[in-house]
Each structure stands twice: as structure tokens, then as C-alpha cells.
């Protein structure tokens, strides 16, 4: 399991979105369907390479948090609760820690059930960030869930997170792994897993 996030200055957003929009899409491609890790095909590999180039050019930062596969999903929400807690930890220990002293952030998680409670936790996140990392008390301007079907940044994040999770779990080495997914894993941004 993994949760991930992209951080980029608002000033970089138009250039990044223009670059994503410029990726060639065959008929029935990117603009007509959501790009996800589980739909990785040879024709949509350019989307996977796009994030690597953005990171190499320092237009965006990528943060990921993995959970051990033997994680105990206690509590009433089980796996959804686990992922929600992982999101909180990612936001606190990466976003608030690294950006909260200098920047005001707008957080845009996918609108699934794992992120629906994040807005309610933003005050606690701010207090935790101030206490642990000296973050500005108003470093989080807003938490607004977005629909990944219409949000290319979330799609970019999904495919990279999927590739890195497959790499961490050696899924690209499994018999029958698709050639496109294996190529995508090999071309992932360099990270220490």
C-alpha cells in the first residue's frame, strides 16, 4: 500500500498542465478516459515519463509513503481508515514539515473515501505541524477533494505511485506482467525504496 503527493508552486501549474495537455493522445486516449496505473498500455507510456521530467527539472516534488503489507487495519473503517491515516502522516511529515514554514498550501487529494475526512483534520494537522516543525499557523489554506477522472495531476500521481508500488513489491518481475508496466517501472523517477 502507498499514498503519494505532488508539491508544486502555483506559478508552475500552468506550464505543467500545458505539458500534460501536449502529450499526444491516440483516439480514445488521455482526454477521453482516465489514465491510471491499472490501465497502463504502450500507447499511454508518455504520461508516465512526464512526471519524471517534471521532477528532473524541479518543477514539482514527489512524496510517497509506503505501508508494510502486514499492516493491521484496525478500527471501524478498516483499510479506508489505514489509508486516511497514511494521508495524514504524509501531509504532516512531508508537506507541512517541508513547506509549512514558508508557503501557504492548497491540498487537492483524490475524492475517494480515504480522503473525505482530511478537511476535518486540517486544524489538527496545523497544530501538529506548528508543534513538531514550527509551521506557520495558517500554512494550509484549504483541503479540496478533486475527481481524478478530470484532474490530470492526480492521474500523473496515480501512475507513478502504481509503478513505484509495483517496483517495491517486485510485481514487474512476476510471470505475465505486461510489457508496458515493466517498461513504466524501469523508467520511474529515481527514489530510494
144-156 tens-digit pLDDT: 889 888 888 888 8
Distance of CA 181 to the CA centre of its chain: 18
Here the contacts of 99-104 (C-beta below 8 Å, separation 24 or greater) are: 99/7, 99/139, 100/129, 100/133, 100/135, 100/136, 100/139, 100/140, 101/133, 101/134, 101/135, 101/136, 101/139, 102/136, 103/9, 103/139, 104/136, 104/138, 104/139, 104/140, 104/141
| pLDDT over threshold 90, residue 101 | yes
Domains along the sequence of the chain with CATH: 2-186 (3.30.420)
Q: Which of 27-31, 123-127, 162-166 has the highest mean pLDDT?
A: 123-127
pTM, full prediction: 0.79
Mean pLDDT of 106-128: 87
Amino acid at each position: 500500500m502507498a499514498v503519494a503527493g505532488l508539491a508544486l508552486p502555483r506559478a508552475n501549474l500552468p506550464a505543467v498542465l500545458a505539458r500534460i495537455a501536449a502529450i499526444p493522445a491516440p483516439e480514445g486516449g488521455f482526454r477521453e478516459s482516465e489514465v491510471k496505473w491499472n490501465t497502463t498500455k504502450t500507447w499511454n507510456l508518455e504520461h508516465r515519463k512526464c512526471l519524471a521530467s517534471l521532477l528532473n527539472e524541479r518543477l514539482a516534488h514527489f512524496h510517497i509513503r509506503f505501508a508494510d503489507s502486514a499492516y493491521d487495519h484496525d478500527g471501524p473503517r478498516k483499510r479506508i481508515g489505514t489509508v486516511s491515516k497514511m494521508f495524514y502522516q504524509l501531509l504532516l511529515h512531508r508537506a507541512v514539515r517541508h513547506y509549512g514554514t514558508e508557503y501557504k498550501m492548497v491540498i487537492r487529494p483524490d475524492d475517494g473515501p480515504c480522503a473525505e475526512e482530511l478537511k476535518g483534520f486540517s486544524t489538527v494537522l496545523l497544530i501538529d505541524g506548528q508543534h513538531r516543525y514550527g509551521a506557520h499557523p495558517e500554512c494550509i489554506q484549504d483541503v479540496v477533494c478533486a475527481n481524478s477522472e478530470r484532474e490530470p495531476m492526480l492521474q500523473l500521481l496515480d501512475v507513478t505511485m502504481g509503478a513505484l508500488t509495483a517496483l517495491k513489491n517486485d510485481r514487474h518481475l512476476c510471470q505475465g506482467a505486461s510489457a508496458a508496466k515493466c517498461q513504466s517501472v524501469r523508467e520511474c523517477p529515481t527514489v530510494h525504496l
